[in-house]
Amino acid sequence: ETGVTQTPRHLVMGMTNKKSLKCEQHLGHNAMYWYKQSAKKPLELMFVYNFKEQTENNSVPSRFSPECPNSSHLFLHLHTLQPEDSALYLCASSQVKDYRDNEQFFGPGTRLTVL
């Protein structure tokens, strides 16, 4: 496989469920990202990992918990979500060095619906 893959592509969960989203990048990049995209809104950056270390957490509620076991895999653990958390969750990766440009490669996303 090439590029950035995400599973599952679609997820429906109740507010009391616990689930996880998975992202894998096959590009040898050193940074991985989680974004939330709600209808007609800009992508909202949630978390950034650089070489497995979290470098950014944009005031995301604790019901979202990221995990980066290595530089190729990224997880987003979900628990006690709210209906307003329903959105497209996008994973991206990039090769970042010396504060140069940051072209990002996105996965297809997970469409999450919280009932």
Partner 1 sequence: SQKIEQNSEALNIQEGKTATLTCNYTNYSPAYLQWYRQDPGRGPVFLLLIRENEKEKRKERLKVTFDTTLKQSLFHITASQPADSATYLCALDFGGFKTIFGAGTRLFVKA
Q: Give the binding site for partner 1 (CB under 8 A).
A: 4, 31, 33, 40-43, 45, 48, 50, 55-56, 88, 90, 92, 96, 99-109, 111
Nearest alpha carbon to residue 21 among 60, 73, 57, 59: 73
Nearer to partner 1, 16 or 98 (CB): 98
Nearest alpha carbon to residue 85 among 54, 49, 111: 111
Q: How far is CA 83 from CA 12, 77, 78, 102, in A?
A: 11, 16, 13, 32
Q: In whole angstroms, how close is the CB of 114 to partner 1 at the nearest point?
A: 18
Nearer to partner 1, 63 or 75 (CB): 75
Tokens representing 31? 């940074």
Q: In whole angstroms, how close is the CB of 51 to partner 1 at the nearest point?
A: 12
CB 50 within 8 A of CB 96: yes
Nearer to partner 1, 1 or 99 (CB): 99
Q: In whole angstroms, how close is the CB of 99 to partner 1 at the nearest point?
A: 4
Q: In whole angstroms, how close is the CB of 48 to partner 1 at the nearest point?
A: 5
Nearer to partner 1, 78 or 92 (CB): 92
CB 18 within 8 A of CB 77: yes
Q: Phi/psi of residue 98, each to 5°?
A: 50, 40
